[in-house]
Amino acid sequence: MSSTTSVHGMWSSRLAFILAATGSAVGLGNIWRFPYTAGEYGGGAFVLVYLICVAGIGIPIMMAEIMLGRRGRQSPINTMKSLAREEGSSPFWQLLGWMGIVSGFLILSFYSVIAGWTLAYVFRAAGGLFTGAEAQMARAMFEALVSDPERLLAWHTIFMIMTGLVVARGVASGLERAVRWLMPALFLLLVVMVFYAAQAGDFTGGFSYMFSPDFARLGSRFGEAVLSAMGQAFFSLSLGMGAIMIYGSYLNSRASIGQNAIIIASMDTLVALLAGLAIFPIVLANGLEAGAGPGLIFQTLPIAFGQMPFGGLFGTVFFVLLVFAAWTSAISLLEPMTAWLVENRGFSRPRAAALGAIAVWLLGIACLLSLNLWSNVTVLGKGFLDLFDYVTANILLPLGGVCIAIFAGWIMRRVSSVDELALGERSFGYRTWLALVRFVAPACVILVFLNAIGLI
């Protein structure tokens, strides 16, 4: 019989869970990664596939992940181990938890470096450095930052300390309060920026860039684009590595999982779309390159802030909010390994969090060096930062997500999932969910993988 509480603490309410999970989902993935990957694949077609993946694969897998977490009530590794035992299945399922730890480790190592860029930009905005910025100047400012390993190391270190400190104290305290004002504030500021983009940028152009899919333009990159859009959906929703699973383990047994998953995914998607609508009109109006890569927002937004009234103030507030958004996501990336160290190694929480943070920090150094001193060190044609980003978002997270779907749909007995989802076995909601996790999600992910490696 599964327990009704977790030793790591519990959310004080259903709202606290929604806030924390939204805090995990909304982050650099929405505001930094979504616009630049959409830009790399020409906009509309990518966005459409992304939206389909969020609705058809993301939401059902998020429900499955919350459900497994809440039933297991431990770190993802031990949750999978005890659920597999409970359902009479193989202990090998705990490998899923291990894969999640590896993914979280790799993601956080580069995530912290990018969050470091965001911290650096808070000070550039506050210092008035964006005033009168145009494309050339914005690019030079960005390049000066990424080519300086010492600065990158300093910001990366500060961000990892921030993350480690919160996880050391326990996620249930603090996170709830932070996200409660952060989300509305971030949302409001994004709306302001969309208005600014509508007035000062090429809004119609930006809008149609994002929402009129042109698959023909992708040509031979079709498979790659679909893989990236699917990967972006997993990354943005924090799925497939145990972050949502562990947050689910702190959720009380009465809350409706389906409703929660829909709310979290909708908010996450809304933020990503708003970010796109704030950025692409500026990109087009200033003749910038939509496919500029990871530097896209850092080379675009300073131009907008440099020209808008009170741009220094708006810019500062924006980057501060982005730091907070990245912080609440980073916390969820560090939490699963910390919980495991507490459960299996008997470490105190602060010690476990510190150990995880230090290990991630060390790997992050390889990521930040890949932007400058080690730019010629490549594996499969990519530097460490790009490699970790690619492997996690496009391969490990979808793979983890599919295993979660298969476990929830095929291994877990129906009585268990009916009981957890509380939808009624014959209800439309339950049957749709079951079909999605049993057939649709696994089939889609496998087809996209096979297609991307050229087998079909």
Note the residues at the interface with ligand PHE (CB under 6 A).
24-25, 27-30, 107, 235-236, 238, 241, 243, 329, 332-333
Q: Select from 397, 444, 386 the least CA-distant residue to 40.
A: 386
Nearest distance from C-beta of residue 32 to ligand PHE, angstroms: 8
What's the Cα-to-Cα distance from 73 to each of 8, 303, 431, rounded to whole Å? 9, 47, 25
Closest residue to ligand PHE using C-beta atoms: 29
Nearest distance from C-beta of residue 122 to ligand PHE, angstroms: 17
Nearest distance from C-beta of residue 97 to ligand PHE, angstroms: 14
Q: CA-CA distance, 279 to 36, in Å (whole number)?
A: 10
Q: How many residues does the chain have?
A: 456
Give the angle 265-268-272 at the CA atoms, nearest 5°. 135
**DSSP 8-state code for residue 260:** H
Nearest distance from C-beta of residue 29 to ligand PHE, angstroms: 2
Of the pair 241, 357, the CB lying nearest ligand PHE is at: 241
Q: Select from 350, 368, 371 the least CA-distant residue to 360.
A: 368
**DSSP 8-state code for residue 169:** H
Nearest distance from C-beta of residue 370 to ligand PHE, angstroms: 20
Of the pair 100, 306, the CB lying nearest ligand PHE is at: 100
Phi, psi dihedral angles at 8 (to 5 degrees) = -85, 0
Q: CA-CA distance, 296 to 301, in Å (whole number)?
A: 8
- Tokens linked to 440: 């649709």
Of the pair 30, 74, the CB lying nearest ligand PHE is at: 30
Nearest distance from C-beta of residue 53 to ligand PHE, angstroms: 14
Quick check: 316 and 331 in contact, CB under 8 A? Answer: no
Nearest distance from C-beta of residue 272 to ligand PHE, angstroms: 8
Of the pair 76, 201, the CB lying nearest ligand PHE is at: 76
Nearest distance from C-beta of residue 373 to ligand PHE, angstroms: 27
Of the pair 248, 311, the CB lying nearest ligand PHE is at: 248
Give the amino acid at 454.
G
Of the pair 63, 218, the CB lying nearest ligand PHE is at: 63
Of the pair 6, 30, the CB lying nearest ligand PHE is at: 30
Q: Which residues of 370-403 are buried (b: 16+ CB within 10 A; e: fewer)?
A: bbeebeeeeeeeebbbbbbbebbbbbbbbbbbbb
Nearest distance from C-beta of residue 244 to ligand PHE, angstroms: 8
Of the pair 59, 284, the CB lying nearest ligand PHE is at: 59
Q: CA-CA distance, 194 to 440, in Å (whole number)?
A: 35
Nearest distance from C-beta of residue 33 to ligand PHE, angstroms: 7
Q: CA-CA distance, 33 to 29, in Å (whole number)?
A: 5
Of the pair 236, 300, the CB lying nearest ligand PHE is at: 236
Of the pair 26, 421, the CB lying nearest ligand PHE is at: 26
Of the pair 29, 248, the CB lying nearest ligand PHE is at: 29
Nearest distance from C-beta of residue 214 to ligand PHE, angstroms: 26
SS3 379: strand
Give the angle 396-441-335 at the CA atoms, nearest 5°. 40
Report the greatest alpha carbon distance in the chain: 65
SS3 148: coil
Give the amino acid at 423.
L
Of the pair 288, 331, the CB lying nearest ligand PHE is at: 331
Quick check: 46 and 229 in contact, CB under 8 A? Answer: yes
Burial of 165 by CB count in 10 Å (0-12 exposed, 13-18 middle, 19+ buried)?
Answer: middle
Nearest distance from C-beta of residue 333 to ligand PHE, angstroms: 5
